[in-house]
């Protein structure tokens, strides 16, 4: 384990981690994490800075056996992966993938501030296999996001303190980082008109929560086709409009059942379901218990 701090500036820290067989059962482990402020006219990485040899060739080209996420919050530089070169500015995030040669470094005359975390495990491999993260798309411009910086800080705290289950907690926060980047990309990919379309659709569903499910009429009121509504809505929410409509209906059903004034059949009809048994099946699939049990469950 290597731990380095710059006492004068308080701006540098890194640690390379060990992990146990028990940690690996979670199929995701944090391997290293750190942050540093690279001053202008400074060699990168600094000579004899304590990084393991495999990590020292970052400025000329290296291949790792782990994933990394690097977030630049100040300065300028370059990042290259699979032959494609990117200009790095404040708010740039780039990912390193196992077995993929890459390099990055700050502009010598400018320097930068970097935060990074390394990780590995089958869970992350599955994200690649599903196309959620990809070596073909390693670079993202998310801007200066407080929530991303906060997550890095929380990971660093876990790594510094190493309290029980810190590996699990740090790995879960890495997933949060990945989801924040993916969410930003999805929002960025859609024009503002699409975002407004989703919000208007949500409003109409909330407004008509007690009606039967009729997505065709909602799409018609919004002036788009049902297929277009489905496409945009799923891009923004990871749910189809139908799934979202069911979600808010089940949420309202829990409220109505907990109040205790209506029977299951009355709640089903009130929310626009003509078939009580279909309603009951949906409710149980979303909550894990039958609607008739919900009230006693809530007040236990």
Q: Where are the beta strands (DSSP E) in 110-266?
A: 112-120, 139-141
Cα separation, 192 vs 273, whole angstroms: 34
For residue 171, how far is the Cα from the chain centroid?
A: 12
Question: Which residue did the predictor score with more confidence, 191 or 68?
Answer: 68
Q: What is the mean pLDDT of the chain?
A: 85
Residue 54 DSSP class: G
Q: Is the separation of the CB atoms in 95 and 84 below 8 Å?
A: no
Q: What is the average pLDDT across 112-121?
A: 94
Query: Which CATH number does 192-298 carry?
Result: 1.10.10.60
Lowest mean pLDDT among 36-50, 98-112, 196-210: 36-50
Q: Are 89 and 113 in contact (CB under 8 A)?
A: no
DSSP 8-state symbol, 165: T
Question: What does the alpha-carbon distance between residue 171 and residue 158 come to, in Å, rounded to a whole number?
Answer: 10
| CA dist., res. 212 & res. 14, Å (int) | 57
Q: Among the ranges 19-28, 29-38, 212-221, which has the highest mean pLDDT value?
A: 29-38
| 3-state secondary structure labels for all residues of 211-275 | CCCCHHHHHHHHCCCHHHHHHHHHHHHCCCHHHHHHHHHHHHHHHHHHHCCCCHHHHHHHCCCCC
Reported as a pLDDT band with limits 50, 70 and 90, residue 195 is confident
Q: How many CA atoms lie within 13 A of 264 on its CB side?
A: 17
* Pairwise CA distance, residues 197 & 205, whole Å: 12
Mean pLDDT of 96-101: 94
Could you say which of 3.30.1450.10, 3.30.590.20, 2.60.120.280, 1.10.10.10 is the CATH number of the domain covering 3-189? Answer: 2.60.120.280
Domain range list for the chain: 3-189, 192-298
User: How is residue 62 annotated by DSSP?
Assistant: B
Provide the pLDDT for residue 8: 31
Model confidence at 204, pLDDT cuts 50, 70, 90, reads confident
Read off the DSSP letter of residue 46: P
Out of 29-33, 170-174, 266-270, 273-277, pick the least confident. Answer: 273-277
pLDDT band at 229 (very low <50, low <70, confident <90, very high): very high
- Check pLDDT > 90 for residue 31: yes
- What mean pLDDT is predicted for residues 26-46? 89
pLDDT at 76: 94
Is 196 buried (19+), middle (13-18) or exposed (0-12) by CB count in 10 A? exposed
Give the DSSP letter of residue 120.
E
pLDDT score recorded for residue 52? 63
CA-CA-CA-CA torsion sign (131, 137, 141, 144): positive
Give tens-digit pLDDT for 155-172. 999 998 888 888 989 999
């Amino acid at each position: 384990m290597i731990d380095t701090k710059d006492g004068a500036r308080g701006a540098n820290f890194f640690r390379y981690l060990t992990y146990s067989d028990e940690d690996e059962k979670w199929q995701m482990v944090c391997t290293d994490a750190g942050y540093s402020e690279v001053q202008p006219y400074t060699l990168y990485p600094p000579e004899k800075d304590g990084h393991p040899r495999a990590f020292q060739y970052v400025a000329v080209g290296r291949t790792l056996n782990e994933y990394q996420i690097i977030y630049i919050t100040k300065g300028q530089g370059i990042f290259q992966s699979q032959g494609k070169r990117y200009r790095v500015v404040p708010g740039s995030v780039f990912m390193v993938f196992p077995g993929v040669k890459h390099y990055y470094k700050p502009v010598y005359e400018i320097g930068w501030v970097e935060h990074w975390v390394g990780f590995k495990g089958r869970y992350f491999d599955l994200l690649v296999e599903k196309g959620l993260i990809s070596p073909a798309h390693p670079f993202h411009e998310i801007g200066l996001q407080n929530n991303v910086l906060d997550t890095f800080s929380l990971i660093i705290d876990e790594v510094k303190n190493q309290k029980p289950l810190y590996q699990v907690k740090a790995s879960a926060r890495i997933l949060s980082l990945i989801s924040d980047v993916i969410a930003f990309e999805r929002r960025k990919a859609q024009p503002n008109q699409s975002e407004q379309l989703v919000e208007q659709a949500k409003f109409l569903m909330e407004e008509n929560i007690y009606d039967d499910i009729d997505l065709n009429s909602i799409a018609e009121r919004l002036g788009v086709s049902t297929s277009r509504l489905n496409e945009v809505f799923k891009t923004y929410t990871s749910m189809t409009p139908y799934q979202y409509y069911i979600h808010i209906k089940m949420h309202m059903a829990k409220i109505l059942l907990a109040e205790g004034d209506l029977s299951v059949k009355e709640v089903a009809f009130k929310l626009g379901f003509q078939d009580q048994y279909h309603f009951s099946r949906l409710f149980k699939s979303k909550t894990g218990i039958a609607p008739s049990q919900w009230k006693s469950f809530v007040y236990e």
